[in-house]
Amino acid sequence: MDDLDGTERERKRPPTLRDVAEVAQVSKQTISRVINNKGEVHPATRKRVLEVIREMGYQPNVFARSLVTNRSSAIGLILPDISQPFYPEIARGVEDKAQAAGYSVFLCNVAGSIERELQSLDRLRGHRTAGLIICNSRLTDEELAKAVEGPSPVVLVNRRLEGVSSTVIWTGYYSGSLLAVNHLISLGRTKIAYLGMAGENRFQTEKLEGYRDGLRQAGLPFQAAQVELAPSTLQGGFQAMQALFEKRIEVDAVCVFNDHMAVGALRFAAVHGLKVPEDVAIIGFGGSEITAMTAPSLSTISVPLYDIGATAVAKLLDLIESGNEGNQQQQVHAQPRLVIRASTSGFESESIA
């Protein structure tokens, strides 16, 4: 192998902070402020520095930076099941916001396993991550409290802890379910069933309460026979719909726990010759992209998933910067919206209420 001369070695060497500072004609401190988005930098100077960084292909040495600051430049994200349509969009919001702030993301998919969730917490602590975002945790209150009260700041998504100071991003499950029932009632539906997720959890409880209260407020009776629980999957939605119709009770509309189950319910209707929405109107929950692609297209309660992820990172970075001192029972509510499509309205054109 031929040796490189000094000029060639210099050309092959990755650009350093000093190189960027020399080309941009500013101090290294100014470059650092631009990269970390801290301190005051004149807009024109910031623009020039960013252009030089792009042209030179400069990459900050995050490992060296963590050694100097004694703080990791990575955050951990724990998701219960990445195969569910609810979570990829949250993860995208987390990753975009984190990268913009100079942080990388360790994503842990625990596939609904409590043991894997505990293992993921241990691994992320071992990596000395700067902070954690935990979505829809299946842990007990005691187990989760240990994580929240640990050395790294934690933001919880869709999980509350009584008596423990924590920052929580909470989806309006109750209000969203109420919105779905009111929409169906506005269309003249009076025999409204509910397909829910089997197993005890707080978001299932809130959705079911919204369904019951929606019926009660409209003067409609709640009947236990109109509720079917199943796994929150495509197959689960099919099975729950099948079990509902095997009871031979009158049903003209169905509120469904999530979009996945709702697609399964649509499939059952297609297989058994039920016209949607003429025979039965169906509405999902979540707002995943698949809802616009079904036949008929699926009305849904849309949750701002991307914004939930981005907001979770913003709150986490605030805690990191404050040394976790701001973790004083903050709650941010993500309000859902009604997206009306053909599965309830009979029209393929989408409208949002």
Spatial separation of the C-alpha atoms in residues 308 and 94, rounded to whole Å: 8
Give the domain CATH number at 298: 3.40.50.2300
* Residue 331 identity: Q
Higher pLDDT, 160 or 352: 160
pLDDT on residue 73? 82
**Can you spell out the DSSP letters for 192-246?**
EEEEEESS--HHHHHHHHHHHHHHHHTTPPP-GGGEEEE-SSHHHHHHHHHHHHH
Do 239 and 140 belong together in one domain? Answer: no
pLDDT on residue 308? 94
Per the domain annotation, does 16 fall within a domain? no
User: What's the pTM?
Assistant: 0.74
Spatial separation of the C-alpha atoms in residues 184 and 36, rounded to whole Å: 49
Spatial separation of the C-alpha atoms in residues 209 and 203, rounded to whole Å: 10
Residue percentage of the chain with pLDDT more than 90 = 50
pLDDT on residue 59? 66
Residue 95: is its pLDDT beyond 90?
Answer: yes
- The tokens describing 310, both together, are 């981005």
First to last CA, the chain: 68
Per the domain annotation, does 99 fall within a domain? yes
Do 78 and 118 belong together in one domain? Answer: yes
Segments forming the whole domain that contains residue 141? 72-171+305-321
Burial class (CB in 10 A: 0-12, 13-18, 19+), 145: middle
Higher pLDDT, 189 or 56: 189
Give the residue from 86, 190, 175, 233 showing the smallest Cα distance to 241: 233
- The tokens describing 204, both together, are 């299932």
Per the domain annotation, does 296 fall within a domain? yes
pLDDT on residue 67? 42
Q: How confident is residue 61, by pLDDT bands cut at 50, 70 and 90?
A: low
* Residue 37 identity: N
Q: How confident is residue 3, by pLDDT bands cut at 50, 70 and 90?
A: very low
Residue 348: is its pLDDT beyond 80?
Answer: no
Residue 301: is its pLDDT beyond 90?
Answer: yes
Per the domain annotation, does 56 fall within a domain? no
Residue percentage of the chain with pLDDT more than 70 = 88
Given a contact cutoff of 8 angstroms between Cβ atoms, the answer to whether 21 and 27 are in contact is yes
Higher pLDDT, 159 or 218: 218
Q: What is the pLDDT of residues 69-84, one digit of tens each?
A: 445 688 999 999 888 7
Residue 6: is its pLDDT beyond 50?
Answer: no
Do 88 and 178 belong together in one domain? Answer: no
Q: To the nearest whole number, what is the mean pLDDT of the chain?
A: 86
Query: Bridge-partner residues for 339, per DSSP?
Result: 300, 352
Using the structure block, give the residue that is written with the tokens 């240990």: 146
Do 195 and 234 belong together in one domain? Answer: yes
Residue 305: is its pLDDT beyond 50?
Answer: yes
pLDDT on residue 325? 56
Q: How confident is residue 161, by pLDDT bands cut at 50, 70 and 90?
A: confident
Per the domain annotation, does 229 fall within a domain? yes
Higher pLDDT, 346 or 276: 276
Do 128 and 218 belong together in one domain? Answer: no
Residue 253: is its pLDDT beyond 80?
Answer: yes
Do 112 and 204 belong together in one domain? Answer: no
Q: What is the pLDDT of residues 199-249, one digit of tens each?
A: 777 778 899 999 999 999 999 999 999 999 999 899 999 999 999 999 999
pLDDT (average), residues 269-295: 94
Grouping H, G, I as helix, E, B as strand and the rest as coil, residue 160 is: coil
